[in-house]
Amino acid sequence: MKMKRKVLYNVVAVFFISSAISCMPINATERGAEPKETVASAAMTEPAPEPAAMEAEKAPAPMLMAQLDMQDAKPVDPKTINPARKITPGGSALYEKAPEPLTVTQCAQCHTSVFMKIKNNGGRHQIHCQDCHQLFHAYNPTKNNFQEIMPKCTQCHVEPHGPQFTDCMTCHIIPHTPLNVPLNDLLEGQCGNCHTGPSGELTKYPSKHTEQGCATCHHTKHGNIPSCMECHDTHIPNQTLEACKSCHPVHKPLEITYEAGQETTCSACHDGVYETWTASPSKHSGVSCVDCHPVHGQIPQCSMCHTQPHDPKMLAKFPRCLDCHIDPHNPPVNK
Protein backbone atom coordinates (compact mmCIF):
# COMPACT_ATOMS: atom_id res chain seq x y z
CA MET A 1 0.00 0.00 0.00
CA LYS A 2 2.82 2.39 0.87
CA MET A 3 4.52 1.54 -2.41
CA LYS A 4 1.40 2.50 -4.39
CA ARG A 5 1.14 5.82 -2.54
CA LYS A 6 4.80 6.59 -3.31
CA VAL A 7 4.30 5.93 -7.01
CA LEU A 8 1.17 8.14 -6.98
CA TYR A 9 3.09 10.99 -5.34
CA ASN A 10 5.84 10.74 -7.99
CA VAL A 11 3.26 10.92 -10.82
CA VAL A 12 1.58 14.00 -9.30
CA ALA A 13 4.95 15.70 -8.81
CA VAL A 14 5.90 15.10 -12.44
CA PHE A 15 2.55 16.58 -13.54
CA PHE A 16 3.01 19.79 -11.54
CA ILE A 17 6.64 20.21 -12.66
CA SER A 18 5.66 19.80 -16.31
CA SER A 19 2.85 22.35 -15.92
CA ALA A 20 5.19 24.83 -14.28
CA ILE A 21 7.73 24.44 -17.10
CA SER A 22 5.11 25.06 -19.79
CA CYS A 23 3.99 28.28 -18.09
CA MET A 24 7.42 29.79 -17.56
CA PRO A 25 8.25 32.94 -19.68
CA ILE A 26 10.74 32.50 -22.50
CA ASN A 27 13.71 34.85 -22.66
CA ALA A 28 13.82 36.50 -26.10
CA THR A 29 17.61 36.17 -26.17
CA GLU A 30 17.56 32.48 -25.25
CA ARG A 31 14.48 31.37 -27.14
CA GLY A 32 14.40 27.60 -27.22
CA ALA A 33 16.75 27.13 -24.21
CA GLU A 34 15.32 25.63 -21.00
CA PRO A 35 16.47 26.52 -17.43
CA LYS A 36 19.09 24.04 -16.22
CA GLU A 37 17.36 23.25 -12.91
CA THR A 38 14.14 22.39 -14.61
CA VAL A 39 15.87 20.09 -17.09
CA ALA A 40 17.68 18.29 -14.32
CA SER A 41 14.54 17.77 -12.26
CA ALA A 42 12.64 16.52 -15.25
CA ALA A 43 15.43 14.09 -16.09
CA MET A 44 15.17 12.45 -12.69
CA THR A 45 11.48 11.74 -12.94
CA GLU A 46 10.77 11.32 -16.69
CA PRO A 47 11.96 8.73 -19.14
CA ALA A 48 14.36 9.75 -21.90
CA PRO A 49 12.60 11.66 -24.68
CA GLU A 50 12.17 10.21 -28.13
CA PRO A 51 14.39 11.58 -30.98
CA ALA A 52 11.44 13.20 -32.67
CA ALA A 53 10.54 15.06 -29.50
CA MET A 54 14.12 16.27 -29.18
CA GLU A 55 14.01 17.70 -32.71
CA ALA A 56 10.75 19.51 -31.87
CA GLU A 57 12.37 21.06 -28.81
CA LYS A 58 15.18 22.45 -30.95
CA ALA A 59 12.70 24.26 -33.32
CA PRO A 60 12.47 28.08 -32.90
CA ALA A 61 9.64 29.45 -30.81
CA PRO A 62 6.53 30.76 -32.69
CA MET A 63 6.64 34.38 -33.97
CA LEU A 64 3.90 36.90 -34.62
CA MET A 65 2.18 36.65 -38.05
CA ALA A 66 3.16 40.24 -38.92
CA GLN A 67 6.81 39.41 -38.22
CA LEU A 68 6.64 36.41 -40.54
CA ASP A 69 4.97 38.50 -43.25
CA MET A 70 7.70 41.14 -43.02
CA GLN A 71 10.39 38.49 -43.28
CA ASP A 72 8.74 36.90 -46.30
CA ALA A 73 7.88 40.22 -48.06
CA LYS A 74 9.57 40.69 -51.43
CA PRO A 75 9.54 43.53 -53.98
CA VAL A 76 6.73 43.32 -56.53
CA ASP A 77 7.87 41.46 -59.60
CA PRO A 78 6.95 43.52 -62.70
CA LYS A 79 6.14 40.26 -64.43
CA THR A 80 3.17 39.78 -62.09
CA ILE A 81 1.43 42.98 -63.33
CA ASN A 82 -1.16 42.57 -66.06
CA PRO A 83 0.60 43.75 -69.25
CA ALA A 84 -2.70 45.06 -70.64
CA ARG A 85 -2.93 47.52 -67.76
CA LYS A 86 -1.08 50.72 -68.61
CA ILE A 87 0.46 52.39 -65.57
CA THR A 88 1.79 55.92 -65.89
CA PRO A 89 5.05 56.23 -63.96
CA GLY A 90 5.28 58.99 -61.44
CA GLY A 91 6.00 57.93 -57.91
CA SER A 92 6.17 60.25 -54.93
CA ALA A 93 6.95 63.27 -57.10
CA LEU A 94 3.30 63.33 -58.10
CA TYR A 95 2.36 64.17 -54.52
CA GLU A 96 4.93 66.80 -53.66
CA LYS A 97 2.80 69.80 -54.69
CA ALA A 98 -0.33 70.69 -52.70
CA PRO A 99 -3.50 70.59 -54.83
CA GLU A 100 -5.13 73.82 -55.98
CA PRO A 101 -8.91 74.40 -56.12
CA LEU A 102 -10.55 72.91 -59.18
CA THR A 103 -11.52 75.24 -61.99
CA VAL A 104 -14.93 75.17 -63.67
CA THR A 105 -13.41 73.48 -66.70
CA GLN A 106 -11.82 70.78 -64.55
CA CYS A 107 -15.14 70.06 -62.85
CA ALA A 108 -16.70 69.79 -66.30
CA GLN A 109 -14.35 66.95 -67.25
CA CYS A 110 -16.61 64.68 -65.20
CA HIS A 111 -19.78 66.75 -64.86
CA THR A 112 -20.12 67.58 -68.55
CA SER A 113 -23.92 67.62 -68.69
CA VAL A 114 -24.12 69.99 -65.73
CA PHE A 115 -21.54 72.26 -67.36
CA MET A 116 -23.58 72.47 -70.57
CA LYS A 117 -26.81 73.23 -68.67
CA ILE A 118 -25.19 76.14 -66.85
CA LYS A 119 -23.48 77.35 -70.02
CA ASN A 120 -26.72 77.45 -72.02
CA ASN A 121 -29.33 78.30 -69.36
CA GLY A 122 -27.47 79.05 -66.16
CA GLY A 123 -28.44 82.71 -65.92
CA ARG A 124 -26.86 84.30 -62.86
CA HIS A 125 -25.80 80.85 -61.68
CA GLN A 126 -22.86 81.03 -64.08
CA ILE A 127 -20.45 81.25 -61.16
CA HIS A 128 -17.62 79.12 -59.74
CA CYS A 129 -18.75 75.65 -58.72
CA GLN A 130 -17.19 76.09 -55.25
CA ASP A 131 -19.37 79.13 -54.59
CA CYS A 132 -22.22 76.68 -54.03
CA HIS A 133 -20.56 73.27 -53.62
CA GLN A 134 -18.21 73.47 -50.67
CA LEU A 135 -18.25 69.71 -50.03
CA PHE A 136 -17.32 67.32 -52.82
CA HIS A 137 -17.90 63.61 -53.45
CA ALA A 138 -19.27 63.01 -49.97
CA TYR A 139 -22.54 61.31 -50.89
CA ASN A 140 -22.99 57.94 -49.22
CA PRO A 141 -26.10 55.88 -50.09
CA THR A 142 -25.90 54.02 -46.80
CA LYS A 143 -26.05 57.31 -44.91
CA ASN A 144 -28.68 58.83 -47.21
CA ASN A 145 -26.95 62.20 -46.79
CA PHE A 146 -27.81 63.78 -50.15
CA GLN A 147 -29.86 66.63 -48.68
CA GLU A 148 -27.23 67.21 -46.02
CA ILE A 149 -24.34 67.79 -48.43
CA MET A 150 -26.23 69.68 -51.15
CA PRO A 151 -25.95 73.50 -51.04
CA LYS A 152 -28.98 75.44 -49.85
CA CYS A 153 -30.59 78.32 -51.76
CA THR A 154 -30.54 80.39 -48.58
CA GLN A 155 -26.75 80.57 -48.79
CA CYS A 156 -27.31 83.41 -51.29
CA HIS A 157 -31.06 84.07 -51.59
CA VAL A 158 -33.27 85.41 -48.81
CA GLU A 159 -36.96 85.13 -49.79
CA PRO A 160 -36.48 86.59 -53.29
CA HIS A 161 -40.18 86.08 -54.08
CA GLY A 162 -41.54 86.99 -50.66
CA PRO A 163 -42.61 84.84 -47.73
CA GLN A 164 -45.34 83.07 -49.71
CA PHE A 165 -42.75 81.28 -51.89
CA THR A 166 -40.10 79.65 -49.71
CA ASP A 167 -39.83 76.19 -51.32
CA CYS A 168 -37.46 77.17 -54.13
CA MET A 169 -37.18 73.71 -55.68
CA THR A 170 -40.92 73.55 -56.33
CA CYS A 171 -40.47 75.98 -59.24
CA HIS A 172 -36.71 76.02 -59.84
CA ILE A 173 -36.55 72.26 -60.22
CA ILE A 174 -33.01 72.20 -61.65
CA PRO A 175 -30.76 74.71 -59.88
CA HIS A 176 -28.26 74.60 -62.76
CA THR A 177 -30.97 76.01 -65.07
CA PRO A 178 -32.82 78.30 -62.66
CA LEU A 179 -34.74 80.20 -65.36
CA ASN A 180 -36.33 77.06 -66.80
CA VAL A 181 -39.40 77.03 -64.57
CA PRO A 182 -42.27 74.88 -65.84
CA LEU A 183 -45.75 76.11 -65.11
CA ASN A 184 -47.39 74.18 -62.29
CA ASP A 185 -50.38 74.39 -59.99
CA LEU A 186 -48.46 76.51 -57.48
CA LEU A 187 -47.95 79.32 -60.00
CA GLU A 188 -51.53 79.40 -61.29
CA GLY A 189 -53.20 82.55 -59.99
CA GLN A 190 -50.06 83.70 -58.18
CA CYS A 191 -48.34 85.59 -61.01
CA GLY A 192 -49.53 88.99 -59.77
CA ASN A 193 -47.65 88.55 -56.48
CA CYS A 194 -44.39 89.15 -58.32
CA HIS A 195 -45.47 90.63 -61.66
CA THR A 196 -47.43 93.55 -60.26
CA GLY A 197 -46.87 95.76 -63.33
CA PRO A 198 -48.48 93.51 -65.96
CA SER A 199 -51.24 92.52 -63.56
CA GLY A 200 -52.04 96.16 -62.87
CA GLU A 201 -52.08 97.07 -66.56
CA LEU A 202 -54.47 94.25 -67.41
CA THR A 203 -56.85 95.46 -64.70
CA LYS A 204 -56.56 99.19 -65.47
CA TYR A 205 -56.87 98.85 -69.27
CA PRO A 206 -59.49 96.16 -69.94
CA SER A 207 -59.21 94.27 -73.20
CA LYS A 208 -59.64 90.75 -74.44
CA HIS A 209 -56.20 90.10 -72.99
CA THR A 210 -57.63 90.80 -69.54
CA GLU A 211 -60.02 87.89 -69.99
CA GLN A 212 -57.17 85.43 -70.53
CA GLY A 213 -55.23 83.64 -67.82
CA CYS A 214 -51.49 84.21 -67.74
CA ALA A 215 -50.82 80.62 -68.80
CA THR A 216 -52.82 81.15 -72.01
CA CYS A 217 -49.96 83.20 -73.42
CA HIS A 218 -47.05 82.30 -71.14
CA HIS A 219 -47.46 78.58 -71.56
CA THR A 220 -44.88 75.80 -71.48
CA LYS A 221 -42.63 77.44 -68.91
CA HIS A 222 -42.30 80.49 -66.70
CA GLY A 223 -40.98 83.51 -68.59
CA ASN A 224 -42.05 82.23 -71.99
CA ILE A 225 -42.56 85.16 -74.41
CA PRO A 226 -45.16 84.08 -76.95
CA SER A 227 -45.60 85.33 -80.48
CA CYS A 228 -48.60 87.56 -81.12
CA MET A 229 -49.17 85.54 -84.28
CA GLU A 230 -50.19 82.53 -82.17
CA CYS A 231 -53.58 84.25 -81.85
CA HIS A 232 -53.55 87.30 -84.16
CA ASP A 233 -53.14 87.77 -87.89
CA THR A 234 -50.57 90.33 -88.98
CA HIS A 235 -51.55 93.75 -90.31
CA ILE A 236 -49.13 93.44 -93.22
CA PRO A 237 -47.23 90.49 -94.74
CA ASN A 238 -44.04 89.42 -92.94
CA GLN A 239 -44.78 91.64 -89.97
CA THR A 240 -42.45 90.88 -87.06
CA LEU A 241 -43.23 90.45 -83.38
CA GLU A 242 -41.26 93.59 -82.59
CA ALA A 243 -43.45 95.55 -84.99
CA CYS A 244 -46.55 94.35 -83.14
CA LYS A 245 -45.17 95.36 -79.75
CA SER A 246 -44.08 98.75 -81.03
CA CYS A 247 -47.75 99.76 -81.31
CA HIS A 248 -49.58 97.41 -78.95
CA PRO A 249 -48.28 97.14 -75.37
CA VAL A 250 -49.08 93.50 -74.71
CA HIS A 251 -50.82 93.97 -71.35
CA LYS A 252 -52.80 97.02 -72.53
CA PRO A 253 -53.11 96.36 -76.28
CA LEU A 254 -55.76 99.02 -76.94
CA GLU A 255 -53.44 101.78 -75.69
CA ILE A 256 -51.79 101.96 -79.09
CA THR A 257 -48.60 103.95 -79.51
CA TYR A 258 -46.48 104.29 -82.60
CA GLU A 259 -43.71 106.29 -84.16
CA ALA A 260 -43.05 107.97 -87.48
CA GLY A 261 -42.18 105.56 -90.26
CA GLN A 262 -44.88 103.00 -89.44
CA GLU A 263 -47.42 104.34 -91.94
CA THR A 264 -47.45 101.03 -93.81
CA THR A 265 -48.71 99.34 -90.66
CA CYS A 266 -51.46 101.95 -90.36
CA SER A 267 -52.55 101.13 -93.89
CA ALA A 268 -53.56 97.61 -92.83
CA CYS A 269 -56.67 99.07 -91.21
CA HIS A 270 -56.83 102.54 -92.73
CA ASP A 271 -56.23 101.48 -96.34
CA GLY A 272 -58.52 104.06 -97.96
CA VAL A 273 -57.05 106.96 -96.03
CA TYR A 274 -53.55 105.68 -96.72
CA GLU A 275 -54.11 105.61 -100.48
CA THR A 276 -55.60 109.14 -100.47
CA TRP A 277 -52.83 110.50 -98.30
CA THR A 278 -49.97 109.01 -100.32
CA ALA A 279 -51.46 110.27 -103.63
CA SER A 280 -52.18 113.80 -102.38
CA PRO A 281 -50.18 116.63 -103.98
CA SER A 282 -50.56 118.69 -100.81
CA LYS A 283 -48.01 119.23 -98.11
CA HIS A 284 -49.99 116.85 -95.89
CA SER A 285 -48.64 113.88 -97.86
CA GLY A 286 -45.23 114.59 -96.35
CA VAL A 287 -46.55 114.61 -92.78
CA SER A 288 -46.35 111.39 -90.74
CA CYS A 289 -49.51 109.88 -89.28
CA VAL A 290 -48.14 110.28 -85.77
CA ASP A 291 -47.66 114.04 -86.27
CA CYS A 292 -51.42 114.56 -86.47
CA HIS A 293 -52.55 111.45 -84.55
CA PRO A 294 -50.13 111.14 -81.60
CA VAL A 295 -52.73 108.99 -79.88
CA HIS A 296 -54.38 106.24 -81.86
CA GLY A 297 -57.94 107.17 -82.82
CA GLN A 298 -57.51 110.83 -81.93
CA ILE A 299 -59.14 113.35 -84.33
CA PRO A 300 -56.88 116.39 -84.24
CA GLN A 301 -57.85 120.04 -84.56
CA CYS A 302 -56.34 121.96 -87.48
CA SER A 303 -55.28 124.65 -85.04
CA MET A 304 -52.73 122.18 -83.57
CA CYS A 305 -50.54 123.15 -86.52
CA HIS A 306 -52.37 126.02 -88.21
CA THR A 307 -52.84 128.60 -85.48
CA GLN A 308 -54.36 131.41 -87.63
CA PRO A 309 -54.22 130.60 -91.33
CA HIS A 310 -56.71 133.32 -92.30
CA ASP A 311 -57.75 136.77 -91.06
CA PRO A 312 -60.26 136.93 -88.20
CA LYS A 313 -63.15 137.99 -90.39
CA MET A 314 -62.84 134.89 -92.61
CA LEU A 315 -62.41 132.60 -89.63
CA ALA A 316 -65.52 134.10 -88.05
CA LYS A 317 -67.47 133.48 -91.25
CA PHE A 318 -66.02 129.98 -91.83
CA PRO A 319 -65.13 128.53 -88.44
CA ARG A 320 -64.96 124.94 -89.79
CA CYS A 321 -61.81 124.43 -91.80
CA LEU A 322 -63.16 121.36 -93.58
CA ASP A 323 -66.04 123.36 -95.05
CA CYS A 324 -63.47 124.58 -97.55
CA HIS A 325 -60.56 122.19 -97.26
CA ILE A 326 -62.91 119.18 -97.38
CA ASP A 327 -60.41 116.31 -96.74
CA PRO A 328 -57.50 116.76 -94.34
CA HIS A 329 -55.64 113.89 -96.01
CA ASN A 330 -55.97 115.57 -99.42
CA PRO A 331 -56.81 119.25 -99.04
CA PRO A 332 -57.24 121.37 -102.18
CA VAL A 333 -54.10 122.93 -103.53
CA ASN A 334 -53.98 126.49 -104.88
CA LYS A 335 -52.67 126.50 -108.41
Of the pLDDT bands very low, low, confident and very high (cuts 50, 70, 90), residue 32 is very low
Of the pLDDT bands very low, low, confident and very high (cuts 50, 70, 90), residue 108 is very high
User: Is residue 130 in some structural domain?
Assistant: yes
C-beta atoms surrounding 140 within 10 Å: 11
Looking at 9, 32, 48, the residue that finishes a domain is 48
Give me the amino acid identity at 277.
W
Count of domains observed in the chain: 3
The proportion of the chain whose per-residue pLDDT surpasses 90, expressed as a percent, equals 21
Tell me the CA distances in angstroms from 239 to 89, 265, 278, 325, 326, one per residue in order: 66, 9, 21, 35, 34
What DSSP string runs through 235-283?
SSTT--HHHHHHHS-TTSTTS----TT-HHHHTTT-HHHHHHHHH--SG
User: Is residue 44 in some structural domain?
Assistant: yes
Query: Coil, helix or strand for 118?
Result: helix
C-beta atoms surrounding 329 within 10 Å: 21
Q: What is the mean pLDDT of residues 34-52?
A: 49
User: Is residue 265 in some structural domain?
Assistant: yes
The sign of the CA dihedral 75, 79, 84, 86 is positive
User: Is residue 14 in some structural domain?
Assistant: yes
Residue-wise pLDDT tens digits, 209-242: 999 888 888 888 888 889 999 999 988 888 888 8
- pLDDT averaged over every residue in the chain: 78
Residue-wise pLDDT tens digits, 163-195: 888 888 888 889 999 988 887 777 777 788 888
User: Is residue 30 in some structural domain?
Assistant: yes
Looking at 170, 192, 215, the residue that finishes a domain is 170
Cα gap 202→209, rounded to integer Å: 7
How much is the pTM?
0.46
Of the pLDDT bands very low, low, confident and very high (cuts 50, 70, 90), residue 156 is very high
Q: Answer for the pair 166, 159: CB distance below 8 angstroms, yes or no.
A: yes
User: Is residue 5 in some structural domain?
Assistant: yes
Residue-wise pLDDT tens digits, 3-19: 555 545 555 555 555 55
Looking at 121, 151, 170, the residue that finishes a domain is 170
Domain ranges, residue 292: 258-335
User: Is residue 112 in some structural domain?
Assistant: yes
User: Is residue 71 in some structural domain?
Assistant: no
Q: Is the pLDDT of residue 160 over 90?
A: no
Q: Is the pLDDT of residue 262 over 70?
A: yes
